Amino acid sequence: GRIELVNGSTRPHHVRVDMTIVGNDGGSVTIDTPLLREPVNVKVTRHGEKVGRNFVLPPGKYPVTFSADAQPVYPPDDFRELVFSVQNFELTSITP
């Protein structure tokens, strides 16, 4: 999966991102973006793993990519091969 964070202003903003990663037990999800010093690896569980990071969001557009090695989830009556979900994604401005 991929999302894009956009700062349309002319100055950097200090922000915090919070989310919960949910999927079948086992495996992991890697979150990667040029905004962080290194990728974030999250163990995948059915109960969800909370992830939170503070960083500076410079002006412009920045990709955030999600990759997983977890086993797929097959919901009833759904043709898609789902591996994980991102829940409660929140991006908030913070004071440095």
C-alpha–C-alpha distance, residues 43 and 37, integer Å: 19
Sole residue written with tokens 């915090």? 16
Low-confidence stretches of the chain (pLDDT < 70) are none
Residue type, 45: T
Question: What residues have CB less than 8 Å from 79, skipping those under 6 apart?
Answer: none
Question: What per-residue confidence (pLDDT) applies to 23?
Answer: 85
Question: What per-residue confidence (pLDDT) applies to 33?
Answer: 96
Question: What per-residue confidence (pLDDT) applies to 90?
Answer: 97
- The number of residues making up the chain comes to 96
C-alpha–C-alpha distance, residues 42 and 48, integer Å: 10
Nearest alpha-carbon partner for 63 in 84, 42, 82, 39: 39
91's tokens: 């991006």
